[in-house]
Amino acid sequence: MVKLIPGRKGSGKTKLLINAIHEAEKASKGNVVAIQLGSSLNIDIYHRIRLVNIEDYSILGYDDLHGFIAGILASDYDCTDIFVDGLLKIVGKDLEEVGKLLDRITEISEHTCITMTISAEVEEMPNSVKKYLQ
């Protein structure tokens, strides 16, 4: 399952994501992964969460992120939740392509909840993206 936390820059998306990460960590009987661009989440995330700086893996673009998430899921059958902060910063701002990416990720995430922040207003999103709104 894929869920999006939308909003313009500075609207509190990351705070909502951090709260969701903490809730998942408490409820999970497996592993929780948080993907970020840079180190913005480092001080707010519990040590039990696997925190990944996507810059360390040269991930840029839609196919790269799909492959990265697929690799996490393939290597860790106990991964219950994946969180991605700053989706558009990682893949780009083409919302039509974002919709295609989210569809592809949904296909491979049957048993894992994937939650992402997206810096975009709901009104500007195509229906292919809106269907993933939380």
pLDDT tens for each residue of 98-125: 999 999 999 999 899 999 999 999 999 9
Question: By the 8 A CB rule, do 121 and 9 touch?
Answer: no
pLDDT tens for each residue of 18-62: 999 999 999 999 999 999 988 777 777 777 899 999 999 999 899
- What global pTM score does this model have? 0.94
Residue 17 in this model has a pLDDT that exceeds 80: yes
Query: How many whole angstroms separate alpha carbon 112 and alpha carbon 104?
Result: 14
E runs forming strands in 1-134: 2-6, 31-36, 50-53, 79-84, 113-118
- Token pair, residue 21, equals 């990460």
Query: How many whole angstroms separate alpha carbon 61 and alpha carbon 103?
Result: 15
